[in-house]
């Protein structure tokens, strides 16, 4: 299943069409708040990892 997650293990993405599905957090460099490219904060449920191989910190849930 995880092989289908955008951003997993360094795979490319997420792309805009994938922002609504589970994906690995990808910081938006244009977001001063440090949100993901999908517009959600790190702790959003759709984020399965903080970075490839890095789990979401409990403090962000
Ligand atoms: Zn996101």
Q: Determine the distance separating the centroid of ligand 1 and the alpha carbon of 3, expressed in angstroms.
A: 17
pLDDT at 11: 82
Q: Which residues contact 14 (CB under 8 A, 6 or more apart)?
A: 6, 7, 21, 23, 24, 26, 37, 38
**Number of folded domains that form the chain:** 1
CA dihedral of residues 36, 37, 39, 41 (deg, nearest 10): 0
Looking at the domain assignment, is residue 60 inside a domain? no
- pLDDT band, residue 56 (cuts 50/70/90): very high
Residue 23 forms beta bridges with which residues?
47
Q: Determine the distance separating the centroid of ligand 1 and the alpha carbon of 26, expressed in angstroms.
A: 6
Q: Determine the distance separating the centroid of ligand 1 and the alpha carbon of 1, expressed in angstroms.
A: 18
Looking at the domain assignment, is residue 18 inside a domain? yes
Looking at the domain assignment, is residue 19 inside a domain? yes
pLDDT at 3: 64
Looking at the domain assignment, is residue 59 inside a domain? no
Mean pLDDT, range 17-41, rounded to an integer: 94
* Boundaries of domain holding 36: 1-53
Looking at the domain assignment, is residue 17 inside a domain? yes
- pLDDT band, residue 49 (cuts 50/70/90): very high
Is the backbone peptide bond immediately before 14 cis, with ω within 30 degrees of 0?
yes
Q: Determine the distance separating the centroid of ligand 1 and the alpha carbon of 57, expressed in angstroms.
A: 15
């Amino acid at each position: 299943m995880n092989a289908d997650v955008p951003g997993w293990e360094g795979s490319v993405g997420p792309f805009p069409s994938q922002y609504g599905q589970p994906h690995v957090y990808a910081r938006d460099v244009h977001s001063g708040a440090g949100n993901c490219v999908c517009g959600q904060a790190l702790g959003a449920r759709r984020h399965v990892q903080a970075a490839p191989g890095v789990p979401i910190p409990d403090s962000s849930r």
